[in-house]
Amino acid sequence: MWFSRKAEHKPEAISADAALIQIVERTQAVIHFSPDGIILHANDNFLNALGYTADEVVGKHHSIFVQRKYRETENYKNFWERLKAGEFFSDEFPRITKEDEVIWIAATYAPVFDETGEVVRITKIATEITSQREAIREIAKGLDALSKGDLTVRVDLQENDRLYELADAFNIAVETFATLITQVRGVSDMIDGIATQIGTNSDELSRRTETQAATLEQTAAAVEELNSNARSAADYASEVGREAEDTKGAAEGSSKVVEDVTTAMKRIETSSESISQIISVIDDIAFQTNLLALNAGVEAARAGEAGRGFAVVASEVRSLAQRSAESAQEIKGLISESGDHVKAGVELVVRASGELTSIFGGVERISDRIREVVHGLNEQTMTLGEINTAISQLDTVTQQNAAMVNETTSVTRTLSSNSAALSQSVSVFTLSKQAAAGSSGWDSVDLGLQKEASSW
């Protein structure tokens, strides 16, 4: 950007300009031109800057300091026309040295007027700014490289350069940014690795959770079947207990019957003894009758013919007494045999009563055991019910865990996707080998996830 304006006509400006030129001649590059651009004078500062001597430039046109292409343009011609018309210009200009090198100057082209207001010469006051331009160009290159993601560029200026502080600040900023990007890249790689590990572990945990859920389902079914069997066993044991109680009642009734039979057998035994005694009496009577009949026969024989009829009666009575005695003996034998049978029956009944008592005790013990079994089965049924409830709760928790694992897997995939996007974003930055090596150090971070996953 360069500036121009129409100079005001002040007759006293010649002496003022001369005084100003004397001040700046010692510190600035100063050159004087005719209104047509012919070099009239150049001080040592100017000549040293472009590598000329005074004899080499005086009388030459200003165009020796500009590039060939520019000196042939309308803009260059207009530039001198406007200076000749009284305008001044301040800007930064590229100029060609004697060695055909380009330097940059910050210069002001100022017309000098005479008393009539005519431009009699053009004075240029300049300062070489090539180093500043180079510094700016280097900084611009650095900014351009930075905009393209290249963080390896550095601006190398000497401490005596005017823009050294700016360049140093730029270098520090780029270094800080490179460190940040290195850390971001390292963290991104680490997050990607962690996300990959978490994804793998989540998939494994999901598989194990599904297996655990299936196992819990099978276990719940088995416990339910066991619970059903236990309830059936408890019901069956209760039924057996009732039958045992019935058997116990029947045994008690049988014991009562045996006692009654024993009492009856004892009464029969007593009656048999009484009958035996009666038979003994009958046998004694038959014996006495037989003796009496024998005596009657003896007496009838003594009576002779008169006692013949009585003898016949006595003989019949004797015969009857004899048969009565024989019958009594037979009855006595039968009664004795019956008594033996009754005694044997009584003994058997007593033994049966003892056996029934033992059976009653066994039935009582069986009934007690069955009650204990029923109680145990009922407790087992309750315990199995609690286990089944716990398994159902565990299955619910497992299903919730599975849902959380799926959610974690989804979040992990999102994290991995975002990490990949972040890595893609920071991959546009080019880092130095040292910085890149620093970022790779994040890959070695071991969070022990795989080791922990193996214990899940």
Query: Mind listing the pLDDT tens digit for each residue in 126-151?
Result: 999 988 888 888 888 888 888 888 87
Q: Average pLDDT, whole number, for the chain?
A: 79
Q: pTM for this structure?
A: 0.49
Task: Please state the rounded mean pLDDT for residues 105-120.
Answer: 94
> Taking the CB of residue 162, how many other CB atoms lie within 10 A of it?
11
User: Does the pLDDT of residue 45 top 60, yes or no?
Assistant: yes
pLDDT at 227: 73
User: Does the pLDDT of residue 14 top 60, yes or no?
Assistant: no
Q: Percent of the chain scored above 90 by pLDDT?
A: 22
pLDDT at 357: 76
What superfamily does domain 3-128 belong to in CATH?
PAS domain (3.30.450.20)
- Least confident range from 132-136, 137-141, 235-239, 393-397: namely 235-239
Task: Please state the rounded mean pLDDT for residues 29-52.
Answer: 96
pLDDT at 445: 47
Length of the chain: 456
Regarding predicted confidence, which is higher, 114 or 204?
114
User: Does the pLDDT of residue 3 top 80, yes or no?
Assistant: no
pLDDT at 342: 72
pLDDT at 43: 95
Q: 79 with 63: CB under 8 angstroms?
A: no
Q: 15 with 105: CB under 8 angstroms?
A: no
Task: Please state the rounded mean pLDDT for residues 242-256.
Answer: 70
User: Does the pLDDT of residue 299 top 50, yes or no?
Assistant: yes
